[in-house]
Structure 1
């Protein structure tokens, strides 16, 4: 099986300062969305055993994953995208409590986490974030972290999300993916202009190693909150980008570990293009993150004290644009009304618990509902 090249890189929030409209799907845009099963409730036990056995050895062995592209994306011209409808936002759901960590006066979001999955015998990782939904069970990430387009568009196997991941630890539980929702044009045409996905997850799981049982950690959004969503916004407002870069820089001078959450900050620009993956209208940001940061959230109006804002992109591509063998650019699909429609296709879907009363797993889908 072909191994995809790594990315060479790699409460509600008030809508003040953001162009906002009512949360409705734009009337002129009802794009085809693709939905696929990632895991049944019955398969969850094997998936969790796979990632947690031997003190999480497989988690620590996972390699960074990225969408193969032939060259670094390039800024074609300065300007703005043609939005397909009115700008809009979906408010976030917050999580109170004391700050879990401070990096250069930026409180890291509890919502951000690391995605793990397998392709054949390979172990891989991306990044992602909890995002607001009706049942507080939704993760935003890159579509190429869900669909193995090199493997004829099959979904990744053993897909899990670990919010707040650090040094092999899962402080708020492990969340097994249930269904993945992407844009039809990505699944069929591998169009990076639609490189985003929204994944429903079952309730989180925490393992009691002493008793050899599992306990239900509850819904993802109840544990860590969920970022809002912004779409059809003007490009140029500053964003924070979070992710877990794990691939080394090409010059070997700095090697990311993938074991801790990192961030970049700046003003995105448009359009960035890379023809080998049909990227014609992506947005770019100067950032040194490498492979493994794919799927990490681009957050507008991030409130460090509350750790929430609006997801307005997810990391897609990246590379070295000045030839110094160090990544200096990451990109994201532009979030428009079609992005919002894909998000809404997953917004109201239920997942539920996958833990029996005796602490075992593997219950039926009917019981999970």
Structure 2
């Protein structure tokens, strides 16, 4: 199914990517794009971010591409395309103590401006325990056509340049064909397979830290869920509100809880968008995870949405809503393809 949500950005196609046929419920095809296709390339990426005391991680700024939309929360129900379903989460480690998920962190990359940037991301349970979910435009470059974002990595639990669970280089990304080809933002999500984590105990040395979900746990995944529910949102917001106030720094993981509803976005067809009541600002929070049935004891829940932008729905010059594609059966098909892809170690 081709959708034309042209008001939100420029078109893009994925150079060197491949299209995989999927069942009808996928509403098209899966696009698989290479990030760091070989272990030697992944080593170069890891060294870029970890060199000089992780200077490039510390100097990265929040991604400021497509951070705001205009719209309102409405009560129109979503008609599921398949039966609802879910994949169970894997609880995170007992330490360090806390109530926020150890699976959440920042994804880092080089933007179209040639500078290091970051979005939010989260680890998901998968067969090979190597999967990260984030916004599609935190993987595919909207400022330059025919390319993915360069030097893509995930750092769970990131704080002030530290990599407490290691740094995980992205190998490949799975996304919806309609996003990569027709710029359909109701398909603005991506699942990235990452290699085993690494740390750098000394210059030019990389040490294997193991598989992502083995280290930090992995959130479950749910699709075709009712929209009259609640979600816990986790991410690293950093940008200003429209009134100029900056309630967040992006230096620490933030948590908000609110009801989910369907969304109508101005100038766009009424398609598969949902919103969650949340005060997160746009920059930095792109890719924030929406978790249903979240337990602060296990620090685990079910990924049921991902922030692709934010909105000020009441006109008070402060953001109050996060926007996500609705996770339907087509999203599940792409998740399952990504969840069965092996990566391995780069050292």
After the TM superposition, which parts of structure 1 deviate over 6 Å for at least 4 consecutive aligned residues? none
Please name the residue that 1:280 is paired with.
271
How far has the Cα of 1:65 moved from its partner? 1.8
Unmatched segments (≥5 aa) in structure 1: 6-25, 102-106, 356-369
Return the alpha-carbon distance in structure 1 between the equivalents of residues 177 and 169 of structure 2: 23
Total equivalences in the alignment: 324
> Is residue 188 from structure 1 mapped to residue 197 from structure 2 by the alignment?
no
Q: Deviations over 1:200-223 (max 9, x none)?
A: 0000001103x7522100000100
Please name the residue that 1:29 is paired with.
25
Please name the residue that 2:77 is paired with.
80
From the superposition, tell whether residues 271 and 253 of structure 1 become closer, same or farther in structure 2 (CA, over 3 Å): closer
How far has the Cα of 1:66 moved from its partner? 4.6
List aligned pairs for 1:66-215, cutoff 5 A. Answer: 66-68=64-66, 71-75=69-73, 77-101=74-98, 107-120=99-112, 121-209=114-202, 212-215=204-207
Match of 1:235, SS? coil
Q: Deviations over 1:225-267 (max 9, x none)?
A: 1111000011121110100112122333324221111011011
Contact 2:107 2:119 in 1 (8 A): yes
Contact 1:162 1:173 in 2 (8 A): yes
Match of 1:343, SS? helix
Return the alpha-carbon distance in structure 2 between the equivalents of residues 95 and 138 of structure 1: 15
Return the alpha-carbon distance in structure 2 between the equivalents of residues 158 and 176 of structure 1: 8
From the superposition, tell whether residues 53 and 212 of structure 1 become closer, same or farther in structure 2 (CA, over 3 Å): closer
Cα RMSD of the aligned pairs, angstroms, is 2.1
Match of 2:291, SS? strand
How far has the Cα of 1:303 moved from its partner? 0.9
> Is residue 303 from structure 1 mapped to residue 295 from structure 2 by the alignment?
yes
How far has the Cα of 1:69 moved from its partner? 6.9
Q: Deviations over 1:86-129 (max 9, x none)?
A: 0000111223423533xxxxx01011110110024122111111
> Is residue 55 from structure 1 mapped to residue 46 from structure 2 by the alignment?
no
Contact 1:168 1:259 in 2 (8 A): no
TM-score normalized with structure 2 length: 0.88
How far has the Cα of 1:34 moved from its partner? 0.4
Match of 1:313, SS? strand
Contact 1:66 1:317 in 2 (8 A): no
How far has the Cα of 1:149 moved from its partner? 2.6
Please name the residue that 1:329 is paired with.
321
TM-score normalized with structure 1 length: 0.83
Match of 2:322, SS? strand
Return the alpha-carbon distance in structure 1 between the equivalents of residues 65 and 272 of structure 2: 16
> Is residue 245 from structure 1 mapped to residue 242 from structure 2 by the alignment?
no
How far has the Cα of 1:46 moved from its partner? 2.1
Match of 1:248, SS? coil
